[in-house]
A and B are shown apart, each in its own frame.
Chain A
Amino acid sequence: MKRRKISVTNVLVFAASVLWLLPLLIIFLNSFKPYNDMMQHFLALPKSWNLDMYFETWSKFDFPTLIMNTLLYTVVSVIGIVILAPMAAYKLARTKSKFSTLCFIIIIMPMMVPFQSYMITLTRLVSKVGLIGTKTGYILVTIGLLMPLAVYMIHGFVKNVPIELEECAKIDGAGKLRIYFLIVFPLLKPILTTVIVLDALATWNDIITNQLIVGGNTAAMNLQNALYMQFSAQTSDWEHALPGIVMSMIPSLIFFVVMQKNIVGGVTAGAIKG
């Protein structure tokens, strides 16, 4: 009896997933079509499958540089978050003081604020410290923008680390830093993996922050920013943009599929509670 109920939902969920995948296929198909063809016959198969536009987009946009830039930004930002966010989240969760709460609020307050409301003053600030137009400036801002949500998410999960474990270690003579690195940090793996996936993708796909901070320095542009420039209020270069978008998605998809295993394979984490 119970089996059947699960099955219906199961079937629905599996079937519905096609709706999520379909648009990807449609973009892929349209990336082979000339502009007018795409406008007139959006859902049809392309008339020819030539990869010319893919090659042209690759060289015209200097994809290698763009990919290197985006990779640099993604890797460094994520490392920055992985090191700094759990530390802060853990300490703030374990310390019950007014100052600790204040710090927590300072960190998560930005979660409610629309970016549009402070983007100009941010560029002013970044330029005041001489980092406008630089890769470093962009990375620092990115880490700062990703921090609130990361800290919030990890903070919630610290509760899953039994405080008894830490107390045992303390009795055994371990220092605070050691307790954190050797005991707590590894137990945060499931949530950290989620944070890594989220932040890596957010940075890989970022457009507006890159536009603002990097400004005129076209050598520091990231992938999505360069592609976004192919559109304006009155023209759309879909013929280059679509192949570009498809190519830019491949690393993200591979990354997600690989990282997925770490999220679900966290069965060991559950065993601690027993």
Chain B
Amino acid sequence: MKRKAVAVLMCVTMVGTMLAGCGSSSGSTGEDAKSDSDNESKEEVVLKVFDAHAYGLEQYEEMVQQFEEEHPGVKIEVQHASNDYDTLLQARVNSGDIPDVFDVEAGTKAQSYYEYAYNWTEDKEIIDSFHEDALAGGTDAEGKVMSLPWTYENMGIIYNKDLFAEAGITELPQTMDELEAACEKLDAAGITAFALAGKENWVLGQLVTHFMMDKSLDAKGVVEKIESGELTFDNMPNFKNVFRFLDLAVKYGPAKPLEVDWEISENMLANNEAAMIHMGDWCQSTLDSFNPDANLGFLPCPVSDEKEDTTLLSSCNWTYIVNKDSENLELAKEYCEFILTSDMGQYWMCDGVGAVPAVKSDKEVQGKLANDAKTYVAEGKTNGWIHTIAPTGYGDAVGPMIQGYISGDLTAEEVTAQMQAFWES
């Protein structure tokens, strides 16, 4: 009898706990853990925001606080899903829990969400506040502005100025031959020239796009020509030089290139252990946390024997979408506009994130690399990103090919053929 009572008690406890869980969950859905639950919270409007930001979060918080102060009764619920971002966003969209405001990578990824996006084309005032080229990344096939740009992100070779000076390199290399000469000088000074993140598919994929670029066509033009068949990986003028580049990176790089991940790559550069890596200015905060005194700058990637061909690739990669079916559409639009164009928003982008905003702004930008790239951008010397408008799965398809070349399992011809096959499938 006693045991039966225990069993019954257990059942009751379980049901009771579950009911308690029910009660607290329906009360907590939509509420921020830090907010007080009083009567007012039931009439609150909650705006759901979802992004992939991993830094500048303190400034973001300040920005959110200001918006909430200016809009009493409104609560901003942000999820910074920097890890597994795509999966989580997909899951949310599929479960009907589409965020009111969210950001996506421009290009093929953003396109897939455009059927849920609010169309900004008629909001002339807002559109005019952005740089024209920045908006290009957020337009769909018919030229409608479906998402708003965030900041410019630049990628290319990042080099360690102190190490270059130590090796006696006075002029930045602009051709493949000059690059090789620079490597030899670094080697002679006992410096590891490269710390390419060979383990990362996405780094390798991005590196390759420099050698696909044709400055007269820019990113979109190149992709169009590849798809129409006019341009193949065989007849691309500079593609074959990627193999020469890789050979240099391996010869003058760490002993185990395929084991270097982004973290090790950036750490070596910042700690003066390697002179060059391929990366973008989004890694500024990580580099700073490794060594705030590191003297680094962008080196437009040499791709041929012509100095004019060097490429620094720039794009407003992250672009913000407003859910067109949002319950609070006007508020969502206002929030989006606020974070991307207002003074507070600019403070977040320039100081917190340290990048150059897409909106026209005079604010000083904190990120050293972003500032370095600014001059190139202003002089129109940059080109767009190919890998985000490439067919989906580009990085994970190309990365292994390059790794195969580095390990010697694939020849240059085989890689070229596989690249062609990938694009055609």
Chain A contact residues, CB within 8 Å of chain B: 34-36, 39-40, 62, 65, 72, 75-76, 79-80, 82-83, 119-120, 123-124, 126-127, 132-137, 139, 178, 181-182, 185-186, 208, 211-212, 215-220, 228-229, 231-237
Please give me the residue from chain B that is nearest to A121 by CB atom.
Answer: B94
Please give me the residue from chain B that is nearest to A228 by CB atom.
Answer: B83
Complex Cα distance, B80 from A79, in Å, reads 33
For residue B216, CB closer than 8 A to chain A, the reply is no
Q: Which of A39, A127, A216 has the most chain B CB atoms closer than 10 A to its own CB? A: A216
Please give me the residue from chain A that is nearest to B202 by CB atom.
Answer: A233
Please give me the residue from chain B that is nearest to A37 by CB atom.
Answer: B290
Point out the residue from A181, A208, A212, A231 that lies within 8 Å of B82, measured CB to CB: A231
Give 8 closest A-B pairs by Cβ, nearest first. Answer: A232-B82, A127-B95, A135-B25, A134-B25, A235-B54, A219-B33, A123-B95, A219-B28
Minimum CB–CB distance for A107 against chain B, Å: 20
Complex Cα distance, B149 from A273, in Å, reads 73
Point out the residue from B48, B95, B291 that lies within 8 Å of A126, measured CB to CB: B95
Q: Give residues 74-112 of B contacting A (CB, 8 Å).
A: 77, 79-85, 88, 90-92, 94-97, 99
Does B99 lie within 8 Å of A216, measured CB to CB? yes
Q: Which of B18, B48, B55, B81 has the most chain A CB atoms closer than 10 A to its own CB? A: B18
Does B28 lie within 8 Å of A217, measured CB to CB? yes
Minimum CB–CB distance for A208 against chain B, Å: 8
For residue B189, CB closer than 8 A to chain A, the reply is no
Does B21 lie within 8 Å of A235, measured CB to CB? no
Please give me the residue from chain B that is nearest to A178 by CB atom.
Answer: B4
Complex Cα distance, B13 from A80, in Å, reads 10
For residue B7, CB closer than 8 A to chain A, the reply is yes
For residue B425, CB closer than 8 A to chain A, the reply is no
Minimum CB–CB distance for A272 against chain B, Å: 17
Please give me the residue from chain B that is nearest to A62 by CB atom.
Answer: B33
Does B33 lie within 8 Å of A39, measured CB to CB? no
Minimum CB–CB distance for A164 against chain B, Å: 20
Interface size class of B (residues with CB under 8 A): 35 or more
For residue B177, CB closer than 8 A to chain A, the reply is no
Binary A-proximity of B289-306 (CB < 8 A = 1, otherwise 0): 111000000000000000
For residue B263, CB closer than 8 A to chain A, the reply is yes
A-B pairs with beta carbons under 8 Å apart, 12 shown: A72-B17, A120-B90, A123-B95, A124-B95, A132-B97, A134-B25, A216-B92, A218-B32, A219-B28, A219-B31, A220-B29, A233-B82
Q: Is chain B's interface secondary structure helix, strand, loop, or mixed overall?
A: helix
Chain A residues lying within 8 Å of B92, measured Cβ to Cβ, are: 215-216
Point out the residue from A76, A132, A229 that lies within 8 Å of B18, measured CB to CB: A76
Minimum CB–CB distance for B264 against chain A, Å: 8
Complex Cα distance, B202 from A86, in Å, reads 48
Does B25 lie within 8 Å of A62, measured CB to CB? no
Q: Which of B4, B21, B24 has the most chain A CB atoms closer than 10 A to its own CB? A: B21
Given contacts A39-B263, A62-B34, contact A235 B29 (CB under 8 A): no
For residue B26, CB closer than 8 A to chain A, the reply is yes
Complex Cα distance, B291 from A39, in Å, reads 12
Does B4 lie within 8 Å of A182, measured CB to CB? yes
Please give me the residue from chain A that is nearest to B48 by CB atom.
Answer: A216
Knowing that A120-B91, A217-B29, A234-B286 are A-B contacts, what are 4 other residue pairs whose CB atoms are under 8 Å apart, sorted by A's residue number?
Answer: A36-B290, A217-B28, A232-B54, A233-B262
Does A229 lie within 8 Å of B29, measured CB to CB? no
Chain A residues lying within 8 Å of B29, measured Cβ to Cβ, are: 133-134, 217, 219-220
Complex Cα distance, B25 from A137, in Å, reads 9
Please give me the residue from chain A that is nearest to B31 by CB atom.
Answer: A219
For residue B159, CB closer than 8 A to chain A, the reply is no
For residue B11, CB closer than 8 A to chain A, the reply is yes
Does A139 lie within 8 Å of B95, measured CB to CB? no
Chain B residues lying within 8 Å of A178, measured Cβ to Cβ, are: 4
Given contacts A80-B14, A233-B202, contact A181 B77 (CB under 8 A): no
For residue B267, CB closer than 8 A to chain A, the reply is yes
Minimum CB–CB distance for A10 against chain B, Å: 37
Complex Cα distance, B17 from A80, in Å, reads 10
Minimum CB–CB distance for B343 against chain A, Å: 26
Does B21 lie within 8 Å of A72, measured CB to CB? yes
Chain A residues lying within 8 Å of B290, measured Cβ to Cβ, are: 35-36, 39
Complex Cα distance, B28 from A231, in Å, reads 26
Complex Cα distance, B90 from A119, in Å, reads 11
Complex Cα distance, B327 from A75, in Å, reads 37
Point out the residue from B95, B96, B271 that lies within 8 Å of A36, measured CB to CB: B271
Minimum CB–CB distance for A71 against chain B, Å: 11
Minimum CB–CB distance for A137 against chain B, Å: 8
Please give me the residue from chain A that is nearest to B200 by CB atom.
Answer: A233
Does B21 lie within 8 Å of A139, measured CB to CB? yes
Given contacts A39-B290, A218-B32, contact A232 B285 (CB under 8 A): no
Binary A-proximity of B1-17 (CB < 8 A = 1, otherwise 0): 00110010011011001
Does A123 lie within 8 Å of B83, measured CB to CB? no
Does A216 lie within 8 Å of B54, measured CB to CB? no
Chain B residues lying within 8 Å of A233, measured Cβ to Cβ, are: 82-83, 202, 262
Complex Cα distance, B145 from A46, in Å, reads 52
Complex Cα distance, B95 from A126, in Å, reads 8
For residue B283, CB closer than 8 A to chain A, the reply is yes
